Chain A
């Protein structure tokens, strides 16, 4: 998108750190999240879930449940639309099983009752007769010739002949001649890596409240990263007309990608339709683990060749991603991100999307990229160690920059990888002395970022304040960023802008809050909507003064005559214009509706010091520094928060978090006690450096920052562990038993 009037310095509001508009609501308990709403006559729902990893559903008997006092309705697959195809069918099949339960925790029926206790009791009275089938939960085993087939015919046309039917999509990309490249290398390192599935781990379970009358008109309140998407999917799954379902997004208690998907909302609506009453559905935590979006687990092979001077001559990666019982594991993202930080003459990457008897994977912060970075950056570290090269210098030597043909195809515009590496090298952390038993690790990371469909509206009030309606749920302070950008354009105080997350009936389609797109795309939309409003304000001033519209400019919240008319009239403040809006042409509203496509890619470099206890195998992260390119930090404190949050999630992924399946194919750790995310006492302070290399695709240079921060930690910590303990772990998480085993193997030679 060509951008007029871009600006990268001289900001008044942008770059300051005011309190967020919803701050008081969130520290007083007033903010309303998914489960915080009620409706008169409301019912409570509970979902019946499969205890089997894979089983044919022979019979569902709901009569005992229906007979329980207080039960108002039970739904099964028969209560949803038929004849769906493609992803809508996949989502329905995941939301409510058809003939077959495909994973432990797969929904098979749901009950609505007058209290949640009754609903839970009734769920236990639903009798489901299963015929267990052979199952598989490991990615490599799911690709093996003898693996049970999850579903025949699920593969698309990208899959080469001769692969197991569980391989459902295939990706291949790259350029040059990797074999020739490897022949030029002084050292080639080739290794195999595995990562386990992790969960986004948002603290707020999925929750919603739906009503749906016999007239086909419904209302839905839910915690989601994107309510237009919920609207579209629910309408399809229930056979409704989209516009007849109005969806309102609640405050959202974390998402990280996991709330881009739809799980319980269609079930609540189906029960509401059946009972003709509002139905509230809140997921128990165990269900969140069992049936909502973990990441893909992976199995990866990496081969990289390097010259003695550190030049990478060729790189090749094979990435197998297990994404549960449905197609969709982001194998192409993993493959495309893997070598993106490096300018490579010869590179080849292959990705496989593999089905297994696990829940349908969902996006998790830079989906697919952290695993690739773990494998690739571990191999680069190994090469640097063996060739006695400095890890940052080596990365600088090979770094992608403007004009580099990216490993995944396009040519990079202005990017900030080199700047993050230089900043990491200059950071006191990089040369700080280490204590005995400690090691330091470095890693780079990459994420594409995304634009997407965006609509906002900015309505001026008669007193010159502004109401900004955006369609992207505020996950971490985006209202503040939007208000800062609107204030910058309108020249009015930050406090004079009220930002609302509009419902689906109020704005055009907004893609979900994902892909680090909010500050970029909704921000760009806000700036353009404000400029649209300013144009209209200038028009009113021009009419009043009797001069041409283009002879009026906007300065510090006032219309000012310019050019030949400069100085002819006193500046006209915004409130003077809006006061007379009604008489001078009606309400003034600025709009923006488009699909911005200039989301600038983002790179990061992380430095971490780790200490490994050889007795217990426990790894402690003792120092952590995140360096990342934000393009332009609109609200720097919130940018830092994104950097720190991504690093912390990456630390959990690297050291503790994993989905543990038993031989029976059942998930063994579906609670926070056993699926242990980092707690306050596990972590050090997380230092941050914001690098600003402006994105040419945004008026102020913004790049999304939410996702890249989770890409480097897995490898950075693995590299630190290798330096600290002298053992390289190629499987995540690097939990104490795995570290002890590696140390034991090392001792035994």
Chain B
């Protein structure tokens, strides 16, 4: 099957790639662009490990075709830190042990960053429902929820 040329923006940088029409944005990020920070846990939209934002909207990259990225803006976990300065969420996740194995972490960070941009003062219930599409098998979510709530509080104070 012939490949399609796509131009898109990933974490602020313009990139071009050729992809098979069946390939997902997740496949493209990982296999064509070498950006393996975004993870595949299921490939069916059920785990959230592949979370990215597309034009600012949180999506499962395994459910978006590579060709649909044409002219769009993608943001992934690799773009969350600024240089060597970690985003407050990243710092708090390490400090609170909000990750054990860390495979869900990229997706959860992308998802929570998107949440806090929409809603800087979420309740615990709001955080839990927002993250209901991001499976974590290791932590029982307790430390993740605490990290998100406390980061939100810190960021509100700082702003």
Residue ranges of A at the interface with B (Cβ–Cβ < 8 Å): 17, 19-20, 22-24, 26-33, 35-36, 38, 115-117, 200-205, 251-256, 282, 284-285, 475-477, 637-638, 640-641, 644-645, 647-649, 671-673, 677-683, 685-686
Contact = CB atoms under 8 A, between A and B. Distances in A.
A205 B39 CA distance: 10
Contact of B144 (A17, A19, A677, A680): A680
Given A32-B36, A285-B42, A672-B44, A203 B139 contact: no
A641 B97 contact: yes
A637 to B, nearest CB: 4
B68 interface: no
Q: Which 7 A-B pairs have the closest CB atoms?
A: A29-B37, A253-B103, A648-B140, A26-B102, A23-B94, A476-B100, A672-B46
Given A29-B37, A29-B106, A35-B36, A201 B137 contact: yes
Contacts of A115: 20
A640 B97 CA distance: 9
B2 to A, nearest CB: 13
A31 B102 contact: yes
B78 A648 contact: no
A678 B106 CA distance: 19
B-side interface mostly? loop
B116 interface: no
A476 B20 CA distance: 37
Contacts of A36: 30, 36
A641 B93 contact: no
A472 to B, nearest CB: 14
A706 B39 CA distance: 25
B37 A20 contact: no
A32 B47 CA distance: 19
Nearest to B127: A680
Given A475-B101, A680-B134, A27 B140 contact: no
Interface of B: 20, 22-23, 27, 30-31, 34-44, 46-47, 49, 76-78, 80-81, 86, 90, 93-97, 99-106, 109, 125, 127-129, 131-146
Contacts of B36: 29, 32-33, 35-36
Contacts of B95: 19
B99 A683 contact: no
A678 B145 CA distance: 14
Given A20-B94, A32-B36, A686-B142, A285 B44 contact: yes
A28 to B, nearest CB: 6
Given A27-B99, A641-B138, A647-B140, A205 B105 contact: no
Contacts of A201: 137
A254 B137 CA distance: 8
A131 B95 CA distance: 57
Nearest to B131: A680
A644 B140 contact: yes
Given A32-B36, A685-B142, A686-B142, A202 B101 contact: yes
A22 B94 CA distance: 9
Contacts of B131: 679-681
A673 B129 CA distance: 16
Given A117-B22, A679-B133, A686-B142, A30 B101 contact: no
Contact of A683 (B31, B44, B100, B140): B140
Contacts of B97: 17, 20, 477, 637-638, 640-641
A24 B94 contact: yes
B22 A645 contact: no
Contact of B105 (A27, A117, A476, A673): A27
A-side interface mostly? loop
A138 B132 CA distance: 33
Most A-side CB within 10 Å, residue of B27, B30, B37: B37
B103 A28 contact: no
A26 B141 contact: no
Contacts of A29: 35-38, 76-78, 106
A332 to B, nearest CB: 27
28 contacts: A23-B94, A27-B109, A28-B78, A28-B81, A28-B90, A29-B36, A33-B36, A36-B30, A116-B31, A117-B22, A202-B101, A203-B47, A203-B104, A252-B101, A254-B103, A256-B137, A285-B47, A475-B100, A638-B100, A644-B143, A671-B42, A672-B44, A673-B46, A678-B140, A679-B135, A680-B134, A680-B136, A686-B142
A280 to B, nearest CB: 10
B99 A26 contact: yes
Given A33-B103, A285-B41, A19 B94 contact: yes
A28 B137 CA distance: 20
B103 to A, nearest CB: 3
Contacts of B20: 115, 117
Contacts of A672: 41-42, 44, 46-47, 135
B50 to A, nearest CB: 11
B25 to A, nearest CB: 15
A590 to B, nearest CB: 28
A671 B46 contact: yes
A257 to B, nearest CB: 12
B42 A254 contact: no
Contacts of A24: 86, 90, 94
Contact of A681 (B22, B31, B132): B132
B35 to A, nearest CB: 8
A31 B38 CA distance: 11
Nearest to B79: A29
A22 B100 CA distance: 11
Contacts of B35: 29
A117 B3 CA distance: 13
A650 B4 CA distance: 47
A202 B132 contact: no
Nearest to B110: A29
Contacts of A686: 140, 142
Most B-side CB within 10 Å, residue of A32, A203, A645, A683: A203
Contact of A253 (B39, B44, B145): B39
Nearest to A200: B137
Contacts of A253: 39, 41, 101-104
A683 B102 contact: no
A143 B135 CA distance: 37
B139 A645 contact: yes
B44 A28 contact: no
A734 B117 CA distance: 38
Contacts of B40: 35, 205, 282
B136 to A, nearest CB: 7
Nearest to B102: A26
